[in-house]
Amino acid sequence: MVAHKETVCVTGASGFIGSWLVMRLLERGYFVRATVRDPVCLNQNEVIKPTVNGVLGIMKACDKAKTVRRIVFTSSAGTVNVEEHQKNVYDENDWSDLDFIMSKKMTGWMYFMSKTLAEKAAWDYAKEKGIDFISIIPTLVIGPFITTSMPPSLITALSPITRNEAHYSIIRQGQYVHLDDLCNAHIFLYEQAGAKGRYVCSSHDATILTISEFLRQKYPEYNVPSTFEGVDENLKSIMFSSKKLIDMGFNFKYSLEDIDDNKEIKNGSAGLTDGMVACKKTEPGMAGEKADSHMSAQQICA
């Protein structure tokens, strides 16, 4: 709990991460102002440019206000490891290869491109204006949700159940973080005076074989596949190191087994797989989110 009540602003507050972050901030005694977004984006010009311009617009507004003490920007693992040859371990010093992304235009390429360009632009602007800026880099976010539609990251994580093969490449050698851990990390970094730079936020790594085995045991009724084209049983996982975050004193609470954990929500939310077949209710006072194939950015500004 904060020593005194502060006002913070959460952008993208109707989204998967933003809605949960608002809930956790309110529980800690913060006053929260929230903004929502128009989720309809279809092509390169409607995704990449608005993402970059939107982030810079927020940065400029914060600079103009002269009352914002810190910005915590939600980046993405897509800014770190999208490149031709994968390494065994990635950390905050790594950046995705934009030329490779443009040449391959793989599933999610506009998202990877927009998030990378947006974060780099934000860092340049923050350094130019002397803004206290931190970026947090989550891997694939799993866990319960209080939005009205299935979050895109869960569509990816559950692709072995739905047989959505276009997403298999993303979780072939995947990394994961629970939503609640991620939101707690946002607040932790906001409150830590010594926090500086980029922070990877990832608690687990697993191959698609590990994920499918877990899902197959937990949901036998879905007949989850046990083999995948081009995936060898000796496939090794790729790690996103959260050492910098952990060394600051942050502790992860959740495991991969909590992918369907919904004990935090007492009213109004069904289990993870229920969201695949039915719309979910929202918490009172929480705006609903339209169906969207793109993940949004969240910032805490105060």
Active site residues: 115
138 vs 16, 142, 164, 297, CA distance in Å? Answer: 13, 11, 22, 11
The DSSP bridge partners found for residue 32 are 8
Q: Are the CB atoms for 179 and 141 separated by under 8 Å?
A: yes
Instruction: Report how far residue 44's alpha carbon sits from residue 53's, in angstroms, rounded to the nearest whole number.
Output: 13
Q: Are the CB atoms for 116 and 78 separated by under 8 Å?
A: yes
CB-based contacts of 104-113 (< 8 A; 24+ apart in sequence): 106/82, 106/169, 107/166, 107/167, 107/169, 107/170, 108/78, 108/170, 110/44, 110/47, 110/48, 110/294, 111/47, 111/76, 111/78, 111/294, 111/295, 112/76, 112/78, 112/79, 112/82, 113/48
Q: Can you read off the two tokens belonging to residue 278? A: 């039915």
